[in-house]
Amino acid sequence: MLIRQFRGEEFINREKEIGFFLNYFKQNPKRVVWVYGPKSTGKTTLIEYIIENYLLEDKSYNVKYINFRRVLISSFDNFIESILEERDENEIQTELNRNYNIFGLFKLEAKTLRKIKENKKNLFNYLLEEFRKEKKKSIFIIDEIQSLQDIYINGNKKLLNEFLNFCVSLTKETHLSHVLILTSNTIFLSEIYSNAKMKVTSDFKLIDHLGYEEIKTWLISKKDLGFRGEDIELIYEYLGGSVAHIKKLLDFRKEYNSLQEQLEEMVEIAENEIDFFIQTNKLSKEDIDRFKFVSQKIMENGYFDNKKYKGYIDIVSKFTEVEILFYDAIKNITKANSRIYVKAFERIV
Ligand SMILES: Nc1ncnc2c1ncn2[C@@H]1O[C@H](COP(=O)(O)OP(=O)(O)OP(=O)(O)O)[C@@H](O)[C@H]1O
Ligand SMILES: [Mg+2]
């Protein structure tokens, strides 16, 4: 197992996943790949690591990455602006002859941009033609795509549908580009998965929390912290393989006398979060009981089987929206978003 440095932070393992994606990109693009998983498992970090350390130096690909979490999208015009960059060509550009770079790859003239905005030209047809002109294969990566929900193109067509059709064209139909779509919203993903057309034109790749051996090797390597075997077991019992939670524990480790005390406080915060959600949403007694039943099953088996127990999807969805539960539409099971919530369930149920 490797522990590398990435952006001044330790980047643990993910060898298998890196291998999976690099191998995937060697094949001809045929389907859209959806990258999903519980909150903060490192989906964005992993993909950005692969882009910066492998894809950008490999001159056989054109790579374009856009993270919609980093831009605010409230309209179609806004969306277009988010994918445009102004070209710096040292030429005197006026509003009318200004050139842009779209996705940092393709040139877009001001007059074409105007036509697109006025709905006289279809943005995605234009982009498809531009992708077609490229000699190299492209890799197109989109993070937080659910931000495009509820945006309409000039008041009628749904931007998200048009965008997804475009992604299917790039992969299944024309094989011009790989398309990787990341999302942390699994309710959104389950809607995609229930759409027959998207299901057959997509692959789904789960990025889960790390496992015990990875956490153990990582924590042992941090010799200055002096963790003993039983400390590591205790941390894993409370925080599982959630790197984000363990990093938080390490950052504040010195503030607490004992490890147990710190971990118990983290559980209490998770418990309060659940309690706050129940109260602010005024969940009925019946809903609370159904949530407790789901929690009980997760405590017993590690997951709740949505195929076996029908009629729970609404309560699962509610808790998934606020990232307490994680609904895996592809496997049709529900888990806690991370181990700390299972410890909180033990107090609630
Ligand atoms: N393999 C790893 N090793 C060490 N730290 C990691 C690793 N993966 C992620 N992290 C850290 O965990 C945190 C969460 O990562 P990231 O934002 O990539 O997760 P995500 O799955 O994209 O989250 P979201 O569900 O919100 O989109 C970051 O601070 C990141 O540095
Ligand atoms: Mg992310």
CATH class of 262-349: mainly alpha
Confirm or reject: Cβ of 42 under 6 Å from ligand 1. Answer: yes
E strands, the chain, are: 3-6, 9-12, 32-36, 61-67, 84-86, 99-102, 106-109, 137-143, 152-153, 157-158, 177-182, 202-206, 304-305, 325-328, 333-336
Q: What is the pLDDT of residue 87?
A: 55
Question: Which of 15, 39, 44, 210 has most ligand 1 atoms within 8 Å of CB, for mutation?
Answer: 44
What's the longest Cα–Cα distance across the chain?
68
CB of 45 within 6 A of ligand 1: the answer is: yes
Residue having the nearest C-alpha atom to atom 15 of ligand 1: 42
- Name residues with Cβ closer than 5 Å to ligand 2, which is an ion: 43-44
What is the rounded average pLDDT of the residues 275-279? 96
Distance between CA atoms of 30 and 108, rounded to whole angstroms?
27
Span 59-84, average pLDDT: 88
Percent of the chain surpassing pLDDT 70: 96
Query: Which tops the pLDDT comparison, 314 or 71?
Result: 314
* Least confident span in 29-33, 134-138, 283-287: 134-138
Instruction: Determine if ligand 1 sits within 6 Å of the CB of residue 292.
Output: no
Start-end of H helices in 106-242: 110-117, 123-133, 159-168, 186-193, 196-200, 212-221, 229-239
Tokens in use for 285? 């007694």
Looking at residue 8, the DSSP 8-state letter turns out to be T
Pairing of strands 3-6, 9-12: antiparallel
pLDDT digits (tens, 9 = 90+) for 310-338: 999 999 999 999 999 999 999 999 999 99
In the prediction, which pLDDT does 138 show?
A: 92
- Going from the Cα of 37 to the center of ligand 2, the distance in angstroms, rounded, reads 9
- Ligand 1: which atom is nearest the Cα of residue 12? 3
Per the listing, tokens 């949505």 go with 306
Name every residue whose Cβ is closer than 8 Å to that of residue 70 and which is 6 or more positions away in sequence: none
pTM for the full model? 0.93
Confidence of residue 197 (pLDDT cuts 50, 70, 90): confident
CATH 3.40.50.300 correct for 3-206:
yes
- Ligand 1 atom index nearest CA of 39: 25
Nearest CA to ligand 1 atom 8: 42
The mean predicted confidence, pLDDT, of the chain is: 92
Mean pLDDT of 223-249: 96
pLDDT for the residue numbered 58:
86
- pLDDT at residue 343 in the model: 98
Q: Which atom of ligand 1 is nearest to the CA of 41?
A: 21
Q: Please, what sign has the CA dihedral across residues 313, 319, 325, 329?
A: positive
Residues of the chain with CATH 3.40.50.300: 3-206
Model confidence pLDDT, tens digit, residues 91-133: 555 555 667 888 777 888 888 988 998 888 999 999 999 999 9
Percentage of residues of the chain with pLDDT beyond 90: 72
Task: Quote the ligand 1 centre to 100 CA distance (angstroms).
Answer: 32
